[in-house]
Amino acid sequence: MYLVIAVIILFFVVIFQIAKASEYVAVLKGEKTSKLQSNKINGFLMVVFLVLGLIGVWYCNELFFGKTLFRYGSASVQGEKVDSMLWVTIAVTGSVFVATQILLFWFAYKYQEKPNRKVFYFPHNTNLELLWTVVPAIVLTVLVVIGLRNWFSFTGEAPKNAQVIEVTGKQFGWIFRYPGADNELGKKYYKNIDNASNSLGLIWDDKMSQDDIVTEQTVYIVKDKPCKFIIGSRDVIHDVGLSQFRMKMDAVPGIPTTMWFTPKYTTKEMQERTGNPNFAYEISCDQMCGNGHYSMKGIIQVVTQAEFDEWMAKQKPYYYTAFPDKDPANEKVDSTKKVAINSSLTISSKENTKI
């Protein structure tokens, strides 16, 4: 470590001394000649930088594009529009980027100081200025129109047949709630929250809560069926980030938000398409939420309708976790609370093995 520091400092001292010496040399040679010389070198380097830079941009794309998953396209129907919009935007900004960078560094090289060059006194030109006001304005209008059409379709109402699931963020994990047999989410109030038996603060007097199903960390949704998340938070602001579906929405305490999308591939299909047996649709928390922010992961299991029905049949309403004695499975047995909690634990551990 100290050796490394010593070498770096030595290196700096050497550069510094060379730079100082070069200044003395410049004074000896005469300011004009040395200035012209350094001007030539820097002018040349401008072109070198441009060429190497553009090659670098291409090479960077070679290296990393494959890692972005854009190769496989979006995993949701809505995300396809994001992808197509992305290509249009890349085409527009990419061509402007290449053109303006070439002009910038090429001009710098071409018009470097020459003793006998006469500069062109050119303070303004209305036509030119109008040109580069109007053309960008038109191009941007096109981009805005494409963007807003997509924006309104993403943020619009979810289709009627959408499966509704409530997603709640907490430090540092995710809780999911299905409406159960009655297809209605029951009421909740945050002051009822109790980590052991009522993690969402459901109001048990509300009949609609009694059949709600609550799971943690993993949520099952159905391929090709629109899925609507009603998103909230228990403590600070979190964010449901679904990179493969190209979707994202904040989870704000006290203010529910929504997001919907239609998954195109099951998790299994994605594992085959990407050739990665560990592939998973991960929910990443995308809003700084505390020291465990980086580990706030949830999993979305996209399955077929049949698989989903099979899984759902095994789930028990959360009500029975809070009131084990009401659970029909426990009615005949002289059960204690402890056993009931154990049984609910085995359910959740089964879920985990399925992942």
Q: How far is the CB of 210 from other proteins (least distance, A)?
A: 21
* Greatest Cα pair distance in the chain: 105
- In the 8-state DSSP scheme, what is residue 203? -
Helix 31-64 × helix 2-29 angle, to 10°: 140
Is residue 266 involved in binding other proteins (CB under 8 A)? no
- How far apart are the C-alpha atoms of 162 and 129, rounded to whole Å? 51
Stretch that binds other proteins, among 188-196, 313-321, 328-336, 345-353 (CB under 8 A): 188-196
Cβ proximity to other proteins, 143 vs 213, nearer residue = 143
CB of 145 vs other proteins, minimal distance in Å: 10
Please give the Cα distance from 76 to 89 (Å, whole number). Answer: 20
Site for other proteins in 5-34 (CB under 8 A): 8, 12, 15-16, 18-20, 22-23, 26-27, 32
Q: Report the DSSP beta bridge partners of residue 18.
A: none
Residue labelled with tokens 């009627």: 160
Question: What minimum distance in Å lies between the beta carbon of 50 and other proteins?
Answer: 9
Q: Report the nearest approach of other proteins to the CB of residue 150 (Å).
A: 4
Q: Binders of other proteins among 154-183, rule CB under 8 A? A: 154-156, 170-171
Q: Does 49 bind other proteins (CB under 8 A)?
A: yes
| 201 contributes a contact to other proteins by CB under 8 A | yes
Q: Among residue numbers 217 through 256, which ones bind other proteins (CB under 8 A)?
A: 234-237, 239, 241, 243-244, 246-250, 252-256
Q: Give me the 63-102 binding string for other proteins, x by CB under 8 A, dash otherwise.
A: xxx-xxxx--------x-xx--xx--x--xx--xx--xx-
Closest to 202 measured CA to CA, from 156, 234, 170, 242: 234
Cβ atoms 167, 240 nearer than 8 A: yes
Span 312-351, contacts to other proteins by CB under 8 A: none
Q: What is the phi-psi region of residue 2: left when phi exceeds 0, alpha when psi lies from -120 to 50, beta otherwise? A: alpha
In the set 29, 51, 55, 151, which binds other proteins (CB under 8 A)?
A: 151
**Positive or negative, the Cα torsion across 104, 108, 109, 110?**
positive
Q: How far from the centroid of its chain's Cα atoms is residue 179's Cα?
A: 28
